[in-house]
A = this chain, B = another copy of it.
Amino acid sequence: MRSLCSSLPTAEPGSVVTLEGWVHRRRELARVTFLVVRDRSGLAQVVLPAGTDVPPEETPIRVVGTATANAQAPGGVEVTEATVTALSEPADTPVVELWRPTLDASLPTLLDHAATTWRHPQQRAKWELAAASLRGFRSTLDDQGFTEIATPKFVESATESGANVFAVDYFGRPAYLAQSPQFYKQQLVGVFERVYEVGPVFRAEPHDTVRHLAEYVSLDVELGFIRDHRDVIACLRDTVAGMVAGIHEHAGDAVERLGITVPEVPAELPVLHFREALEIAGAPADEPDLNPGHERALGEWAMREHGSDFVVVEGYPTASRAFYSHPDPDEPHWSRSFDLLFRGLELVSGAQRLHRYADYVATLEQRGYPYEPYASYVEAFRRGIPPHGGFAIGLERWVARLVEAANIREVTLFPRDLHRLTP
């Protein structure tokens, strides 16, 4: 019966234990050989007679030995009188020394050798944050009556706009990869009222930046029977709080390994109107959007004024948002859309959407968009769709900001971008 490394400190001293994992480090001293085993739960120390033949680092092994108290060992217990069996051929020497406390690798090395570099406990911790966030995301929404959906990635026309879309040869005719599940999640509000999807979205980003990927994981939410976008913001607040709770519950150890500060989510998120946001950021009143400098300034303001890592900006100019955004009925120049900034960076976009067929027809016409490519989507609004709205969170962006990564690629298992299609 296998024990996890993390359970070794609770093993009965003198009992026989079986560990399985990788040779994290071997250290051959004159009188003794130390072997550190790494498994998914952590590390454990094995003490062997000097000269014992230990497979090289990163080889998977089985260790059977005796749990022995030793105040100097990590956790106070080590394994002695052990036999070590290799479970594969000896591993090649890794490109970086994974046993060092911090991973000393350039970004290209990190990415070119991802399957190896993700083994480093600190690097792995980043993805553990992502996985725990997903658990918190889903359980929050499940508890609120949402239904998980799976929408098609092959689409006949672009979701967001004609730009940045990947073309596919679909049985001899053209198709595109969905840039978001936007059109489908809105239509499914008509079926399930409240829906979410976690899945890949595809953006043919022609720019090589530290915050864009050609493929990323989008956490999409849409809910019906709302009064306005403030109901959507309230749902977003609960969702982000759930992601943070998921981290505390399932990835406390990863947080410790990284030494990061997990944000607190205020019971109510501070909300600024776009007009005020421009003022606070010191931008001209006729700016159509916020730039990264403005976002940073707003992040500082939120921390200063509200002690909050988060701030919502609502009421972006209708003209600068997606065509399905709902205008403010009193001042249609402003929209019922919003962004959530996390530590001064845009993390989430959301809005109340249009829900009346006539409004869609008018907006498409006003923007000069053709009707035909949107026909199947827009006509769904003749079938009875309630007032609704939603948002999308970029998983990698969330984790990047959590760990203050300089580049989003550092937190993506196998990133895809303009230049990178492997590994």
Contacts and interface: CB of A to CB of B under 8 A. Distances in A.
Interface of A: 2, 4, 20, 22-23, 39-41, 58-60, 87-89, 91-92, 94, 115-116, 118-119, 124, 127-128, 130-131, 134-135, 138, 142, 145, 147-156, 166-171, 173, 175, 177, 184, 187-188, 190-194, 198-200, 202, 204, 206, 214-215, 217, 224-225, 250, 355-358, 376, 380-387, 395, 413-416, 418, 421-423
A25 to B, nearest CB: 13
A152 to B, nearest CB: 5
B171 A418 contact: yes
A356 B88 contact: yes
Contact of A191 (B115, B150, B154, B198): B115
A184 B115 CA distance: 9
B168 A147 contact: no
A250 to B, nearest CB: 8
Q: How many identical chains are in the complex?
A: 2
A35 to B, nearest CB: 14
Contacts of A22: 384
10 contacts: A40-B193, A58-B383, A60-B224, A87-B386, A89-B358, A92-B382, A94-B383, A130-B150, A131-B149, A156-B421
A148, A151, A155, A198 — most chain B CB neighbours (10 Å): A148
Contacts of A39: 193
A148 B128 contact: no
Interface centre among A91, A115, A190 (most CB of B within 10 A): A115
Given A89-B358, A168-B168, 14 more contacts: A20-B225, A40-B145, A40-B193, A60-B224, A60-B384, A115-B191, A115-B380, A124-B192, A142-B250, A150-B395, A152-B416, A167-B168, A184-B413, A187-B423
Nearest to A217: B150
A169 B167 contact: yes
B151 A413 contact: yes
A385 B148 contact: no
A184 B414 contact: yes
A182 to B, nearest CB: 13
Nearest to A376: B423
A116 B415 CA distance: 37
Contacts of A413: 149-152, 184, 188
Contacts of A422: 156, 376
Contacts of A2: 225
Contacts of A169: 166-168
A20 B60 CA distance: 57
Contact of A200 (B147, B153, B175): B153
Contacts of A250: 142
A192 B142 CA distance: 26
Contacts of A194: 40
B154 A416 contact: yes
| 8 A-B pairs with least C-beta separation | A91-B384, A60-B386, A58-B384, A115-B187, A40-B193, A118-B191, A20-B225, A92-B382
